[in-house]
Chain A
Amino acid sequence: MNIPNDFLFATTHEWLHRDGDLATVGITDHAQHELTDVVYVELPAIGTNINAGQQVCVVESVKSASDIYSPASGVVESVNEALNSDPSLINTDPHGAGWIFKLRLAPDVDLSALSTPTQYAEQLGHA
């Protein structure tokens, strides 16, 4: 299972990549594998204020609809419109072109609850 070493992870299998005040969020390679073929993504609304752990959007495979939770608090800055025409980007490139939304992090954001790549690998039993 592919786990990028400069990302942080939620136990609910979302990843977060921080770049200053902004963070990009998606779901992990493990999550896309468990979900199977993604056929629809309900993107969050730009400007939505969300708290860490809050349900923010939905990713659907043929078999199931899965809630996606925000790994951090902030405001939705932008969304990956490419997923509207090709939701399978989440399967083919979950940590790259399959990103879901960008978050403007809350000023007092605390990311310490998120897992490091090593911790996430342990969670998956790959340590």
Chain B
Amino acid sequence: METDLKRTPIASLHETLGARMVGFGGWWMPVQYQGIIPEHHAVRNAAGLFDISHMGEVFVSGPKAEHFLKSLLTNDVTRLGIGDGQYTLMLNEAGGVIDDLLCYRLEPNRYLLVVNASMIDEDVAWLRAHVSPDVEIDDQSHAWAGFALQGPHSAAIAHKLLGPDQALPARNTIASLDLPESRVLLARTGYTGEDGFEWFCPAQQAAFWWEKLLAVGASEGLVPCGLGCRDTLRLEVGYPLNGSDLSPDRTPLDAGLGFFVKLEKGPFIGSAKLTQQRTQGTEVRLMGLIMEGKTPPPRSHYPIFHEGVAVSETTSGSLSPTMGIGIAMAYLPINLAQPGTRLELDVRGKRFPAIVSKRPMYKASPDSKP
């Protein structure tokens, strides 16, 4: 075991269950249990349970909390009713991405930000550096555990656990449940392209809920999953990963995330650059790539060529377990960022054909949410 890595409240359960553990963003996390490919298929066809306790939970509250978040995040927090959530981004002054996150309005003046594990300290420092009086920033990441229950059977499993009469939150909303065992924040969100929930509970109850969820869900095909298939699942549906597909040098418009940028709400950090890009257009755009035929699986930082000329490199890549073919993402010059454009990927000095695709590269079943 790596000693300098942080452990989630259920790290020892992963070890007991036989997970293969790796360092990820400073955390000691399961990369797989039975295997990345079978776990991937379980989430697409039934359900999988992920430990996402490494992610950060930051509560922002106070009379000026809405105003503060409106001036700091790209999406429009004023559109959130109580219990609503939205995907949003935090930018530097140049419009580059510091982090992408989920922002939920829990109470009129209280918000929950769920941020990337590797960015907790940086995000909190950025929030504190820009905080206005009357706004409290409470980083509860250490005190909260989180699980993602993902897949088409997720709602059935939630009903089995909580009872058939328990109303489940609608897509992109969060419910606060006062269960006998503990308080739970239940959000209808995820990072796989399937229906599902993110379940946040106090760290002390993490082991109890993890085991309970797995036991209740087993008959619905629920299996514990590692971060390996979390990555292949999110890549198939074109969700960016901060640190790979998002970076301080790229804006959300470069990344094709304009839907989550609300310039009309008024200025926010980074908005000057985005306003300019909205007018003039971006020079690059994050696109999907689908390999043609049998190729080595694409990975990040593979060079991309167009008609023999180097034009970019991949930011993420993998074999798509669902499609059985290599897929990747890359920032492409805008003239090449058109679906159908033929490119070549360089893998260890050999060139393999790839076709530019819209994101997502794979669409989950129609009754699934994003």
Contact = CB atoms under 8 A, between A and B. Distances in A.
B20 A60 contact: no
Contacts of B228: 62-63
Contacts of B299: 65
Nearest to A64: B299
A40 B293 CA distance: 12
Contacts of A58: 296, 348
A42 interface: yes
Contacts of B295: 40
Interface string A1-35: 00000000000000000000000000000000000
A36 interface: yes
Contact of B35 (A37, A42, A60): A37
Interface string B267-306: 0000000000000000000000000001111010000000
A62 B297 contact: yes
Contact of B296 (A36, A42, A63): A42
Given A36-B20, A40-B319, A62 B37 contact: yes
Given A36-B20, A37-B35, A37-B36, A62 B294 contact: no
A92 to B, nearest CB: 13
B348 A62 contact: no
A123 interface: no
A36 B35 contact: yes
Given A39-B319, A40-B319, A42-B348, A62 B36 contact: yes
Closest 7 pairs (CB-CB, A-B): A62-B36, A40-B296, A39-B319, A37-B37, A37-B35, A62-B319, A60-B297
A118 interface: no
B20 to A, nearest CB: 7
A54 interface: no
A42, A58, A62: residue with the most chain B Cβ atoms closer than 10 Å: A62
A125 to B, nearest CB: 16
12 contacts: A39-B297, A39-B319, A58-B348, A60-B297, A61-B36, A62-B228, A62-B232, A62-B319, A62-B321, A63-B36, A63-B228, A65-B296
B135 to A, nearest CB: 41
Interface residues of B, number: 17
A94 B216 CA distance: 37
B225 interface: no
A82 to B, nearest CB: 14
Interface string A33-50: 000110110100000000
Interface string A47-91: 000000000001011110100000000000000000010000000
Nearest to A63: B228
B32 interface: yes
Contacts of A61: 36
B318 interface: yes
A58 to B, nearest CB: 7
A53 B362 CA distance: 41
Interface in B144-186: none
Interface of B: 20, 31-32, 35-37, 228, 232, 294-297, 299, 318-319, 321, 348
Contacts of A39: 37, 297, 319
A84 B297 contact: no
B348 A36 contact: no
A123 to B, nearest CB: 20
Contacts of B297: 39-40, 60, 62, 65
A40, A61, A63, A65: residue with the most chain B Cβ atoms closer than 10 Å: A63
Nearest to B229: A62
B286 to A, nearest CB: 22
A8 B31 CA distance: 31
B175 to A, nearest CB: 35
A42 B294 CA distance: 11
Nearest to B32: A36
A39 B296 CA distance: 8
A65 B347 CA distance: 11
Contacts of B32: 36
A40 B295 CA distance: 8
Nearest to A34: B20
A65 B300 CA distance: 12
Contacts of A36: 20, 32, 35-36
Contacts of A60: 296-297
A98 to B, nearest CB: 16
Contacts of B37: 37, 39, 62
A65 to B, nearest CB: 7
Contacts of A65: 296-297, 299
